[in-house]
Amino acid sequence: MVSRRQFISYTSMALAASGPMLSAKAAPKAGQIRFPDNFIWGAASAGHQVEGNNLNADIWLLENVKPSIFHEPSGDAANSLELWEVDLDLAKNLGLNAYRFSIEWARVEPEPGRFSQAMLDHYKRIIEGCHQRGLLPLVTFNHFTSPIWFSAQGGWTNQEAPALFARYSAKVAEQMADAIGYAVTFNEPNILRLLRALNLPQGMWQGQRAMLAAAAKASNSDRFCCINAANFEDLDAMTAQLIEGHKLGTQAIKAANSKLPVGFSLAMFDDQAAGENSLRDAKRQELYGDWFKAAATSD
């Protein structure tokens, strides 16, 4: 296994050996593509997947109930909560000029309406660390995970969900929006609808239903629902709620910085048309149409 320190060393040597060919400003040879000088080269991470010990997050609970469709708990993960500076050094030494990371809602608002200034300051330090290394910070406000209390209220099936997300977004934006390069409200909010289109085995949905029931029992709730773990019949209603959450979240973020670009990232197939009767365009409309419309009207 390669440690972070070794990886930094290896990538630094590789960059030194490759010389000017890695520079966007270097004169391209015949047949080569030259990228614009302002092209964004970046790496991305998701808080729950790298930080470790995200105890107040809904997915943490799902990982630890029985039964669970998760193979194993995330545990310490990559300990990026403490080693974030090393992660930024990795990105810098790879020759990148941007870093996308997420703010963990469950850390910032572990209880409804109670915000942790210590955690807000933590994420502000990451943003400042990006700037110190010449990395453009791209910040995701919600990368799949939400606080346990939020999902125990029904998550994105709850009619209050968009307003709750907007409240959290406003709290983060008022302290960070002026230092962010781009803001992302949601990462792949359409992921379950995409998986539904793949006709996954019913066992997957049945296992997920049992897991959500166990989480509801553990959290003393009537309905436990997450962005990337929900029951089949809730997906369409969740999409409408998430789109409204994006709109309200965008408004909250832009109230802090009207010039900040705000968007979302979608999970997408590489659709290819096959023959005159291809269903590609119809499938694209089914899977992405509502989100494309939201993108055109919210920002």
What tens digit of pLDDT does each residue of 142-177 get? 999 999 999 999 999 999 999 999 999 999 999 999
The dihedral sign for the CA sequence 154, 297, 145, 261:
negative
pLDDT value of position 198: 83
Taking the domains of the chain in order of start, what are their residue ranges?
48-267+279-298
Looking at residue 235, what is its pLDDT?
93
**Res. 46 pLDDT band, cuts 50 70 90:** very high
pLDDT at 9 over 70: no
Written as six digits, the tokens of 111 are 């209880």
Residue with tokens 């941007």: 98
pLDDT range class, residue 16, cuts 50, 70, 90:
very low
* Residue for token pair 């990368």: 143
Residue-level pLDDT at 274: 86
C-alpha–C-alpha distance, residues 165 and 229, integer Å: 18
Confidence band, pLDDT 50/70/90 cuts, at residue 24: very low
Look at residue 21 in the predicted model and tell me its pLDDT. Answer: 40
**For all residues of the chain together, what is the average pLDDT?**
90
Note if the bond before 147 is cis, omega within 30 degrees: no
In this prediction, residue 52 has a pLDDT band, given cuts at 50, 70 and 90, of very high
Residue 17 has pLDDT above 50, yes or no: no
Q: Which of 248, 246, 231, 288 is nearest to 140 (CA)?
A: 246
**DSSP class per residue in 167-181:** HHHHHHHHHHGGG-S
Instruction: Tell me what the mean pLDDT of segment 16-27 comes to.
Output: 47
Spatial separation of the C-alpha atoms in residues 142 and 145, rounded to whole Å: 7
The pLDDT-based confidence of 226 (bands split at 50, 70, 90) is: very high
Tell me how far CA of residue 146 lies from CA of 94, 202, 210, 242, in angstroms. 31, 26, 20, 13
Tell me the DSSP string of 161-220.
HHHHHHHHHHHHHHHHGGG-SEEEEEESTTHHHHHHHTT--HHHHHHHHHHHHHHHHHTT
**pLDDT confidence bin for 3, thresholds 50/70/90:** low
Average the pLDDT over 36-54 and give the result. 95
Taking the C-alpha atoms of residue 108 and residue 118, their distance in angstroms, rounded to an integer, is: 8
- Residues 94, 13: Cα–Cα separation, whole Å: 10
Percent share of the chain, pLDDT over 90: 73
Instruction: Among 2-16, 34-48, 158-172, name the one with the lowest average pLDDT.
Output: 2-16
Query: What distance in Å separates the CA atoms of residue 243 and residue 295, rounded to the nearest whole number?
Result: 9
Which CATH code is given to the segment(s) 48-267+279-298? Answer: 3.20.20.80
Q: Does 133 have pLDDT greater than 70?
A: yes
pLDDT exceeds 90 at position 202: no
pLDDT digits (tens, 9 = 90+) for 65-113: 999 999 999 999 999 999 999 999 999 999 999 999 999 999 999 999 9
Q: Please state, in angstroms and as integers, the Cα–Cα distance from residue 122 to each residue in 65, 107, 108, 186, 252, following that order.
A: 29, 10, 10, 21, 21
The residue-averaged pLDDT of 220-234 equals 96
Query: What is the C-alpha separation between 235 and 230, in angstroms, rounded?
Result: 7
Check if the beta carbon of residue 17 is closer than 8 Å to that of residue 43. Answer: no
pLDDT above 50 for 216:
yes
Comparison of pLDDT for 34 and 234, the residue scoring more: 234
To the nearest 5 percent, what fractions of the chain are helix, strand and coil? 55, 10, 35
